[in-house]
Every structure is written in structure tokens, then in C-alpha cells.
A and B are shown apart, each in its own frame.
Chain A
């Protein structure tokens, strides 16, 4: 047996974000206690932690605004999952933590949208095309972006037609003079979607928040994380209310009505000694050839709840496929 190489340096937690000693905790060079002692607050430290810089006051003001309008949104998936977890009477951290998991490319796709925006902004710059043209291209190519599969709204939808907040976010960003190329680009995306949509659509909260956070120089990943964690406060609050107002879930209590079930009908379990007479091995249905494999695969895709019909996009395969 070969032993582990001995000449290597011992393991260390290497970080450019933060360190701590017995006396202090330092993020991006700033002692965190010194920061708060000198009047800096959570929003300043979010900037410092993610971006390694103290924000301008106007940036801080904008960020405060964004965090407030994104804090709570009723019984959305993140609040619902926090409430469901609360029914198990676990720690509240499990409820808040679970709520973060509700964020994906569809619900709360801040990272996906931000990445598209950056990709097409870069394209506009490289190919010297206008933002309007880049937006038209993004909207036209949007259904073919396989990894997205229509999951994000592109920040434009019918969701917030009656909600003034998305437009107010942009208005505030412009008033504070923090609006930049992302907000300008999102406005063009809105126009491009409206031109192609048969039904009324408008800037939504996802679009307004993403564009503004990117103009505040947060990366798409940072925007996603910050909103997800912000919303976890509200999810925690929902979980608290669930504990206060609703009964705990008793193991095995919830019924699942047969009316909702559309799988195979009731059937007897064969006796164990008969199993090999009645069971059809996968090898038989799959066959030995690529053709028989494909026929079987298509058949399997028809059975819901097996996962055969799901084809998720794998980034490296997309690169290889070049389509």
C-alpha cells in the first residue's frame, strides 16, 4: 500500500475573504469590530465581504432598498418549504436553511438571469451592436438556450403587471445615480419581450432586482446568494408562525387520496418463489443493440416519476455539442 506523500505542506484553510486570530476577525483587511464601532452596518459589510470594498452611500442606500423589497413575498415556495419543515418540530435553522434550497434557475433565478445579461452585454461590446439589438438577440435565442429550458422569466413577465415596485426600483437607482449598463440593458430586454409577446408583460421583481444588483457590481452568484439569504429571514418568520398557529405533522397522518393517483392499478404482489417467472429483466427489454436500447428508452420515458424523460443540461456536454 502506498502511503500518502509526506513532503507536502500541512493542510490550511486558504482564504482571501477573511481570517481570525485570538483578538480579532478581519474581512478583506477590515477588522469587523472596528467597522461596526465606526458606524458601518450589515449592508456595508455585505459589500465588503462580497466585493472587498466599502460602498458609496448611494450604493448602500440602493442596497437597503433592494433588501427590503425582497425580504418577504407571502407563501412562495421558500416560505412554504420552511413551514413544511417546521411541522417536524426541528430547529428553526432547518426551516430557514431549507428555504434557501427553494432557489433555483426557475424560482429566484438571479444567477441565471445575471449570467445571461453579462453574456449578451459582452457580446454587444465585442460585436459592436446596440443594447437594443443585443436584447433582441437574447430574447430570440432565449428558447434555444438549452441549459435554461425556459426556466427563468428573463425578468419580464405578467407577474408584476400591477406591482409598482419593479419600476420604482429602477426609478430609485436612477435617482441615486447608481443605474448603469445592466439597468439600461434590462429596459431593452423588456421592450424586446413586449414586442414579441401577445399578452401584456412588464419588468418583474426578478429583472429589476438582478439588473440593479449587477449595477451595484455584485456578481450574478452574489446576487443570487444575497437574495436567497435575505428571504430566509422571512421564511424563518413563516416557520415561527407555523409553529405558533398550526399543529405538528404526525408521522403517517397525511393521506394521499386515490383520486390523485394515476399510476398502475392495484395488483397483487407475486409470491417470492414466483418472482423470476413473472419479473421481466431490464436486459430483456433493453435488448442487445443500440436500436433496441433506444426503443426501450423511449418507452421508459413515458413512465412518469422514473426520471427517464428528464434531460438536464450539463455544461461540459453543451460545450462539446456546440449547439
Chain B
């Protein structure tokens, strides 16, 4: 058997962990000892991201939140996993693609934190209460014509079914803090303004409820984002595996009873109409005319 290389893959200073032949130590705690003593996976997540053992209620809250966030049926992440798996790469490619769909619109956890922190810091500098700063936040978002992050969901139009229970659970476990209070103030102020304008009430989504809860558990915006997105990776893996085992590769078969995702009839082209490719000897004149006419600019991406 070939000798196993034990050299470090990367030489980096790190405050996260070290590993010897005997043990892996994270933030000072031996992972094996944590497991042996009956701690939960979510305890280890606290140790990893925050360097501390949580209280049992904090652990329960994270367990609750990761559990409810794991599956969301057909959201962009699951759709990506299914689409990628249609090409039959190795499974990790589909899972990675799913995790990478999280961005500015789908689960924008870190951005939500930056928003809350920015306004909390302003509240401190301007001597404003949470209620007053929530009013300012809503007003400035309305002026900028930007939706208030954390409220509203395109599928759950009467409120994300996970949001209110999350708020209730953090209250029940006593883990809610300043982020929770601020989030509630923001929602109330936004709905006050909307009702004044004769518009419908709008409900919290899982960023508003879930991310504020994670922040109150002491996670940073980025830490919370990693936890949320990677948790979703598990369920996206299931969707990918279902596609692998139960569906046709390519998702374009005309023999299936249901129209497939990539059935040719699903393509609706709205670009430049069909045109003849110029012969090579005419290409330069043709290309110059096309460049001059400028219609390509309309289509340039």
C-alpha cells in the first residue's frame, strides 16, 4: 500500500482548529470528547462558529431552526439541484449548485444582518429607540423603492409558515434578543405604513424570522448564512437523488405522461428571427453593416 501523505494541504494560521494523529480540536474542544459526552451536532456548530458551548435552550433553538429550514420543496436551490442532476454529473455537483443558488433574493441572510447592524449602529449614534429606527428604516427603504428585507415571500403570500412559529419558539426558549425586537418593530412599522396607503398586510419570511433568531443566538451574518444554506444542501441532495433514481436524464423525453422540464415545446424564443449565415467572402462587409446598423446592441448581454 502506498504511503499516506500526512503533510498539511495548506499552511495557514488558524484559530478554528488543529488536527494531530490522535484528535481534532475545534476552538479548544476535542470533537471526540464533545460527542462522547452526549453533545448534539448543533452544539458543535456553536463551538465551530462561536467558540463556545451553548446553553441547552440555545442548542434547542438552533436544532429547531436547522430542522425547519432543511426542506423547502421547489425553491431555486432544489430546482438547481434537479436541473444539474439532469446532466448526470457526480452528485456533489448538483448539491454544490443548489447551495450556490443562495444569493441576494433566495435566502439573503448575511445581507439582512448587515442591514440590521447598520441601522442598530445608527440608532446608537443618533440616540434613537428601536421603534424610531425601525420607522427610519422603513421610510428610507420606501424612498429608495427597495423592499424591506425579511418580509414577504413570493410563494407563501400569507406569510411563511415557518416564520411565526420561529418567532414563537425563540420567545418560548428565551433566546430572543435585540434582533428579534428590532425585526418585530420593522414589520409592525412597515405594515402600519402599508395599511395607511391602503395596501395589503405583508408577512415575515424566514430571513426575517430565522436570521434574526440566529443573530440572537450569537451567530454573525455570514455564519448564519453558511448554516442556513448548507442545511438546505441536505434536502437538495435528496431532490437530486430522486432525479437520478426516478427521473429520466435530460428531462426531455416525449414518452413521459407529464411534459418534461426540457421538452422542446417548453422553449419560447423571443430573439432575432432566423437569418442566413453569410459566406466567408461576404462576412467582412456583412459584419461592418451589422456593426453600423447597431441593432445588435439591443440584444447584447
Contact = CB atoms under 8 A, between A and B. Distances in A.
Q: Do A and B come from one complex?
A: yes
A53 interface: yes
A311 B222 CA distance: 9
A200 interface: no
A257 B269 contact: no
B258 interface: no
A176 B11 CA distance: 46
A317 interface: yes
A126 B250 CA distance: 50
B21 A255 contact: yes
Contact of A15 (B30, B268, B300): B268
A19 interface: yes
Contacts of A317: 111, 114-115, 118
Interface stretch (A30-38, A137-145, A149-157): A30-38
A68 interface: no
Interface stretch (A109-117, A165-173, A268-276): A268-276
A28 B267 contact: no
Contacts of B49: 305-307
Interface in B180-219: 216-219
B280 to A, nearest CB: 5
Interface in B93-145: 93, 96, 100, 110-111, 114-115, 117-118, 120-121, 123-124, 130, 140-141, 144
A265 to B, nearest CB: 6
Contacts of B33: 268-269
Given A13-B266, A255-B8, A270 B272 contact: no
A283 B216 contact: yes
A315 B144 CA distance: 12
B5 A247 contact: yes
Contact of B93 (A56, A97, A271, A283): A97
A275 B55 contact: yes
A29 interface: yes
B114 A321 contact: no
B39 A269 contact: yes
Nearest to A279: B55
Interface in A225-275: 247, 249-250, 253-258, 260-272, 275
A282 B58 contact: yes
B6 A264 contact: no
Interface in A274-298: 275-276, 278-283, 285-286, 288-291, 293-294, 297
Contact of A267 (B29, B90, B114): B29
Contacts of A39: 280
A58 to B, nearest CB: 9
B6 to A, nearest CB: 5
Given A94-B93, A283-B177, A305-B15, A269 B37 contact: yes
A16 B4 contact: no
A250 B4 contact: yes
B180 to A, nearest CB: 10
Given A91-B93, A254-B8, A307-B221, A312 B268 contact: no
A275 B38 CA distance: 11
B255 interface: no
A21 interface: yes
B248 interface: no
A256 B18 CA distance: 5
Nearest to A267: B28
Interface stretch (B63-71, B231-239, B286-294): B286-294
Contacts of A21: 264
Interface in B144-180: 144, 146, 174-178
Contact of B9 (A38, A101, A249): A249
Contact of A12 (B28, B267, B275): B267
B217 A303 contact: no
Nearest to B31: A269
A290 B144 contact: no
A281 B5 contact: no
11 contacts: A35-B277, A38-B279, A55-B287, A57-B284, A57-B287, A250-B4, A253-B6, A285-B218, A294-B124, A316-B146, A317-B115
Closest 5 CB pairs of A and B: A19-B269, A307-B222, A282-B218, A307-B220, A52-B299
Given A20-B267, A264-B27, A310-B222, 19 more contacts: A12-B266, A16-B269, A19-B267, A31-B277, A52-B271, A52-B298, A54-B286, A56-B284, A94-B90, A247-B2, A250-B5, A253-B4, A257-B18, A275-B55, A279-B54, A279-B55, A290-B120, A294-B120, A312-B111
Interface of B: 2, 4-9, 11-21, 25, 27-30, 33-34, 37-39, 49-58, 89-90, 92-93, 96, 100, 110-111, 114-115, 117-118, 120-121, 123-124, 130, 140-141, 144, 146, 174-178, 216-223, 226, 264, 266-280, 283-284, 286-288, 290-291, 296, 298-301
